[in-house]
Amino acid sequence: MQGNDIGMRDCIVVGAGAAGMSAALTLVRARRSTLVIDAGQQSNLAAAGIGGLLGHDRRPPAEFYAAGRAELMAYPSVELCRGEVAHGVQEDDGSFTVTFSDGRRERARSMVLAPGMNYRYPQLPGMNERWGHSVFHCPFCHGWEVSDRPMGVLAEGAVGVHGALNLRAWSDRITLLTNGSELTDQHREQLAVGGVSLDERPITGFDGPGAELRSAVFADGGELLIGALLVKTTLYQRSTLARDLGASLTEPDEMLSVEAIKVDAMTRTGVPGLYAAGDAATSVPPSMAAAVASGYLAGAAAAVQLAAGY
């Protein structure tokens, strides 16, 4: 639809990842007209498989999303479209209007934000091509597949110590790599007590065949043999859409490292009719299982609000 000639739907879901499609499925089963906007940027597409999602453990993400789209399209009240939202606004009557990057507009009485997040990690040579395989940010998602290999943890300070100690569940050969940053005596003692090695040398890159990791390479010419790397990753919003609509965001801190949309226990943002789900929202760890659950809550909350007529 173009120009001002746009119809009113019950809900627009921004994002067609696990959270967005879960929200949409809940809405369409409540017989609500729902538009799902898919920018095709699902964060885990690079991964070899999904880790820890019951019924889909180790399933390729692309296969999971294809099955989800097929399930959704079996319902008559849903429309799935490809595109990217450039701007959003809440109208005086409480409805929401989104404008696509191509100028197209859509409108709905409620909205679920589930756009996923921009995952940022240190840009060292050899990391990007191994991301989602032997280089990862979540041990619960990827740890099993690299179990018992010698592993590195690339992070600083308390975050690095915490990550290294936690990773011991998957391997007894863990080295914390601080890339030139020095630890406190307290942190050194924690690592020593936990049986974790420490290497503070500056890193020039990572090496190995294909997507497999073989070693960390240091500025002094030395190497450390590792078969997997856990890396501190900070999550940022992909656009200003949440702010445009009046939602509040958290500030990334040392431990959480997430710029998330603030929501309550029912995924409400505080803006009437606006919900957020998946890793873009607070209290939702970056995992498929958590995303599906939060998407269901968002869809249910939106359906209840629609039924109440406000």
pLDDT tens for the chain, 310 residues: list them: 333 447 899 999 999 999 999 999 999 999 999 999 999 999 999 998 999 999 999 999 999 999 999 999 999 999 999 999 999 999 999 999 999 999 999 999 999 999 999 999 999 999 999 999 999 999 999 999 999 999 999 999 999 999 999 999 999 999 999 999 999 999 999 999 999 999 999 999 999 999 999 999 999 999 999 999 999 999 999 999 999 999 999 987 665 668 899 999 999 999 999 999 999 998 788 899 999 999 999 999 999 999 998 5
Say if 138 falls within a structural domain: yes
Buried b (16+ CB within 10 A) or exposed e, 241-262: bbeebebebeeeeeeebbbbbb
| pLDDT score of 256 | 60
Write down which residue in 175, 198, 231 finishes a domain: 231
| pLDDT score of 308 | 93
194 is written with which tokens? Answer: 């936990």
| pLDDT score of 4 | 43
Closest CA to 111 of 19, 32, 20, 14: 14
193 with 265, same domain: the answer is no
Say if 2 falls within a structural domain: no
138 with 225, same domain: the answer is yes
Q: Give burial (CB, 10 Å; 0-12/13-18/19+) of 212.
A: middle
Which letter does DSSP use for residue 163 in this model?
Answer: H
What is each CA distance from 22 to 75, 199, 286, 289, 310, in whole angstroms? 13, 43, 15, 11, 23
Say if 252 falls within a structural domain: yes
| pLDDT score of 285 | 86
**What's the whole-model pTM score?**
0.93
Say if 3 falls within a structural domain: no
Q: How far is residue 23's CA from residue 268's CA, in Å, rounded to a whole number? A: 13
Read off the CATH number of the domain in which 134 is found: 3.50.50.60
| pLDDT score of 283 | 75
Cβ neighbors of 221 (< 8 A, separation 6 or more) are none
Say if 292 falls within a structural domain: yes
226 with 161, same domain: the answer is yes
250 with 261, same domain: the answer is yes
246 with 106, same domain: the answer is yes
109 with 241, same domain: the answer is yes
Per the CB < 8 A criterion, the answer to whether 4 and 47 are in contact is no
Write down which residue in 231, 251, 284 finishes a domain: 231
254 with 227, same domain: the answer is no
127 with 222, same domain: the answer is yes
**Number of folded domains that form the chain:** 2
Q: Which domain does 286 fall in, by range?
A: 8-119+234-308
85 with 41, same domain: the answer is yes
Say if 1 falls within a structural domain: no
Q: How far is residue 134's CA from residue 88's CA, in Å, rounded to a whole number? A: 38
222 with 280, same domain: the answer is no
Say if 204 falls within a structural domain: yes
Write down which residue in 196, 231, 266 finishes a domain: 231
| pLDDT score of 94 | 95
Say if 58 falls within a structural domain: yes
Q: How far is residue 229's CA from residue 69's CA, in Å, rounded to a whole number? A: 33
